[in-house]
Amino acid sequence: MKAFLGIGLLGSGFVRAMLSKGEDVQVWNRTPSKAKELEQYGAKAFLNVEDAVRNADVIHVALKDDATVDEALAKAEDGFKPGAIIADHTTTSVEGAKKRTEEWKSKGFLYQHAPVFMGPKNALESTGYMLVSGDQHLIKQLESQLSALTGKLLNFGEQVGKAAAMKLTGNLFLVAYNGAITDTLSFSRGMGISANELSQLFSEWNPGTSFPARLKRMTGDDFSDPSWRLEMARKDTGLFLKEAELKGISLNVIPGVASLMDGWIEKGYGKEDWTIIGKEQ
């Protein structure tokens, strides 16, 4: 028997995927109607979270944050089956994941943080990425169950909280990437470039394919053979900023990058490869 706490878009997809694989799943959500909707697929919904976890061997959680996870688990605790395992897919703080691992262990239960890079469609189709770290014996015990929920289970070793750190790092990249796209869209509109024309450019020229090589270079030590000198990249960045000022274009990310470039140029690295801005200072 499985329980699932948190029937948002991700949780709903997970539960429907579990049911399609023949699992018995008891569900709870702070908005009861969302849990009730899953009864048409075979889930059993409960108004009381304590009842929802009763007799469950594994209790899956997909809530908003540290506070909502702690609150739900505290209310559910009296219904926990002895030896029950908590598999938490919520994006949380590193310290929160560490704290819950220790606290639930002290109470005789096992807590495994397993955040994901998955959207609702991924959850429904059991594709995407799930991250784990910590107690390798527990991970081995859960491996087949967690792997069934995702396209790939990524194990980052014995350090408790590493999975949480990796999830936050990945999400930081997504937020920064979205910010860069926002600047690009703002700039292109201000320059009279249509969405179709922008799409035409990036459908032919895909800078995303260079990411692995760029990451490798930025984390290396040799920037002396530049493909684009920092001073030249900064010159072009000045052109972006000048055009934006002239046309009243709002840029949010690029001014910060320009400031970072200036710092490295002031240190005497203007003729080095522009990827040096990612070097640890």
Give per-10-residue mean pLDDT for the chain (281 aa): 97 97 97 97 98 98 98 98 97 98 97 97 97 98 96 97 98 97 97 97 94 95 96 98 97 97 98 96 74
Integer Cα distance of 26 and 1 in angstroms: 8
Topology of 206-278 in CATH? N-(1-d-carboxylethyl)-l-norvaline Dehydrogenase; domain 2 (1.10.1040)
Q: How many CB atoms lie within 10 A of CB 160?
A: 20
Integer Cα distance of 206 and 175 in angstroms: 19
Q: What is the pLDDT at residue 252?
A: 97
Integer Cα distance of 167 and 65 in angstroms: 13
Supply the CATH classification number for the domain 2-165. 3.40.50.720
Q: What is the pTM of this model?
A: 0.94
Q: How many CB atoms lie within 10 A of CB 100?
A: 23
Q: How far is C-alpha 227 from the chain's CA centre?
A: 31
CA proximity to 139, closest of 122, 156, 116: 156
Q: Cβ(78)–Cβ(105) under 8 Å?
A: no
Q: What is the pLDDT at residue 134?
A: 98
Q: How many CB atoms lie within 10 A of CB 96?
A: 19
| Strand locations in 20-109 (E) | 25-28, 44-45, 58-61, 85-88
Per-domain residue ranges for the chain? 2-165, 206-278
Q: Cβ(111)–Cβ(105) under 8 Å?
A: yes
Instruction: Please list, in sequence order, all residues whose beta carbon lies within 8 angstroms of the beta carbon of residue 178, skipping any fewer than 6 positions away.
Output: none
Q: What is the pLDDT at residue 246?
A: 97
What are the backbone angles phi and psi of residue 65, rounded to the nearest 5°? Answer: -160, -175
Q: What is the pLDDT at residue 217?
A: 95
Q: What is the pLDDT at residue 59?
A: 98
Q: What is the pLDDT at residue 280?
A: 86
Q: What is the pLDDT at residue 180?
A: 97
